[in-house]
Structures are given as structure tokens and as C-alpha cells.
């Protein structure tokens, strides 16, 4: 059974959540406020719950509405990104690039300024994601990724190797003392990132292996 709600109902719902009223949402979508209201009702019927409290001619989002809007926001963003990207496919004057958000902000964007300055006839589009996602062949001209499973339509070039090192605040180091062995780091109050590609345990195991290899 297809549980996807009607797209026009989702668009109307998002417009109301963004603008705060039926009238403003109607103006944004170039339809009537009555049409927006009917689409909201269709979405509520589909979901089997009320997303808005109706008072006179105004609507007020419920807790469920705020939660639903937050959940579907990423899906709308991905549709928008995919649309811009696919529009650029086959356009020789457009270079479409995909990478992680951190790579874009820390490495790519400042280098693109020089590229665009010397290639003003080329339009560059950059799409990014929070994590290093799988490469989708045919959507991008250039992809920066840590993954090794490169699709056949891409030519793979290695930029370099990432370096990872632990950091500690001077105050914490003065309080707890300097670790004598690498595995003692795990006894400290460490920060973990769910989206990190390398865990503390992985980094420590590689460090121990390299240390043992250098002693042979």
C-alpha cells in the first residue's frame, strides 16, 4: 500500500508552516486560500490526525505539525537539490559538484573562487550533504568522496590522505595529566561525533599497528 500523501497537499502544508497563514501560503502558491485549506484537510485525512487548530479563519499548527514539518524538510531539500542537479546534466556550460558539507566549507569553496574567476563562462553548482553519501552516477560531473566504490562512469583521482590527531584543552590536561599510553585516552571525557568517518577506537588501533610496525 502506498502511504505517500498527495504532493500538492504536502506543498500546501509546507507553505503554511513557512508563511504562518492560509492567505500568505495561497499567495505563495498562486492559488486560493480555500484551495490551501482543502489540501490541508486532505493531508490530515491521509495521516489520520489533526495538524492544525482552526479558529475563525486562522489556523494554528499542533505539535504534530511542527514535528512533521521538521521530518519532511530534508526530503524537500533533497528534491530541490536533485532538480537543480538534473537540470544541469548535459549542459556543457555547467559543472555540477557534490561533496560533504564539511569538505565544501573547509576546502572546496575557497578554491572555487579562483576557478570561477578564470572560467567565468562556466556555471558551477555545488550540492552537499551532512555525511559522505554514496555516489550516484549520471547526476554529477565531479564528486569528492572518501569511498572507494567508484562507478564506472567516473575516473578516480586521489587528492591525498586525511590526518587525524587528538586535541585536548590545556585546562583539562592540567587537571587530568598527560596520558602515558594511547588507550588511556578512552578514559578521558572524550567527544564523539555520530557522523564521523573514523572513531576513537579505529584511530587508536591504527596508531598501535603503526607503532608496532615501526619497532620491527
**Nearest alpha-carbon partner for 202 in 215, 185, 214, 189:** 185
Which band of pLDDT confidence, cut at 50, 70 and 90, is reported for residue 215? very low
Q: What is the pLDDT of residues 106-165, one digit of tens each?
A: 889 889 988 988 888 888 888 887 655 556 556 778 888 877 677 776 778 888 777 777
pTM of the model: 0.45
Q: Average pLDDT over the chain, rounded to whole? A: 81
Residue 58: in which H helix or E strand, if any? strand 58-61
Q: In this model, does residue 214 exceed pLDDT 60?
A: no
Query: pLDDT by residue (tens digit) across 161-191?
Result: 777 777 888 888 888 888 777 777 777 787 8
64 vs 70: CA distance, rounded Å: 10
All domains of the chain in start order, with CATH: 7-76 (1.10.10.10), 89-143 (3.40.190.10), 170-214 (no CATH)
Q: Supply angle C-alpha 78, 84, 90, rounded to 5.
A: 130
Can you tell me whether residue 20 is helix, strand or coil? coil
pLDDT tens, position by position, 9-47: 999 999 999 999 999 999 999 999 999 999 999 999 999
Pairing of strands 58-61, 52-55: antiparallel
Would you state the cell numbers that stand for residue 42, as one nine-digit string? 486532505
The reported pLDDT for the residue numbered 13 is 95
Q: Is the dihedral of CA 42, 45, 48, 52 positive or negative?
A: positive
Amino acid at each position: 500500500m502506498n502511504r505517500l500523501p498527495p504532493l500538492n497537499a504536502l506543498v500546501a502544508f509546507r507553505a503554511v508552516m513557512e508563511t504562518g497563514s492560509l492567505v500568505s501560503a495561497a499567495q505563495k502558491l498562486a492559488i486560493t486560500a480555500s484551495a490551501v485549506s482543502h489540501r490541508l484537510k486532505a493531508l490530515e485525512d491521509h495521516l489520520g490526525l489533526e495538524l492544525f487548530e482552526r479558529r475563525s479563519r486562522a489556523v494554528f499548527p499542533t505539535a504534530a505539525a511542527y514535528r512533521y514539518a521538521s521530518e519532511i524538510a530534508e526530503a524537500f531539500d533533497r528534491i530541490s537539490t536533485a532538480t537543480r542537479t538534473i537540470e544541469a546534466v548535459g549542459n556543457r556550460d555547467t559543472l555540477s559538484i557534490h561533496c560533504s558539507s564539511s569538505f565544501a566549507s573547509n576546502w572546496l569553496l575557497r578554491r572555487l573562487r579562483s576557478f570561477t574567476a578564470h572560467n567565468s563562462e562556466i556555471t558551477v553548482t555545488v550540492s552537499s550533504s551532512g555525511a559522505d553519501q554514496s555516489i550516484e552516477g549520471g547526476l554529477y560531473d565531479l564528486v569528492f568522496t572518501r569511498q572507494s566504490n567508484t562507478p564506472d562512469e567516473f575516473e578516480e583521482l586521489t587528492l591525498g590522505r586525511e590526518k587525524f590527531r587528538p586535541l585536548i584543552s590545556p585546562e583539562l590536561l592540567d587537571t587530568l595529566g598527560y596520558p602515558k599510553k594511547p588507550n588511556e585516552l578512552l578514559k578521558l571525557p572524550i567527544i564523539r561525533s555520530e557522523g564521523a568517518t573514523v572513531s576513537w577506537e579505529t584511530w587508536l588501533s591504527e596508531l598501535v599497528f603503526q607503532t608496532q610496525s615501526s619497532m620491527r
